[in-house]
Structure 1
Amino acid sequence: MFKHSLVPDGQPLVIKCSLEKSLNFESGDCNLTWYKVGNQTAVPRDKLSRIRQQKSLIWFLPAVLEDSGDYECVIR
């Protein structure tokens, strides 16, 4: 499932992974990771990072024009 989000430059944005509903993610049996499409490096989990992932969410604090693109969540 794809979700299109628009946010003004400089504003915060949070997106929830739609795959999380279909799996028992909270049990710890699965590992969810966010990626920007075309980049094999995972979005950091560091709380000090401007873009970070936390459980099934990806946070942009704040979102900037350079963040534009497609992001995917992968569950393993």
Structure 2
Amino acid sequence: MIISENLLFSYGAELQNYHSGDTIIEEDSTPKYYFQIKSGTVKLSSFLEDGKEFIHGIPFDGHCFAETYLFTEKNMR
């Protein structure tokens, strides 16, 4: 879902810049914010017990992520 930047900013949103390889949300944590990608891609992944990486998705420009966790008590996995 794309929400107008002006609307987001009117409710206190902040523009954050991240670099390739930066961690935005730690696994097993609870996101406290809505994230919408202005430009670029984000890899949503977790690591299995055997050390293998599981990629949940790769959202890009205009997509949001982690929003469902704002409405639950569950941590990201």
TM-score strictly above 0.5 = no
> What is the TM-score when the length of structure 1 is the normalising length?
0.30
Who wins on radius of gyration, i.e. which is larger? 2
Structure with higher RCO (Cα < 8 A, 6+ apart): 1
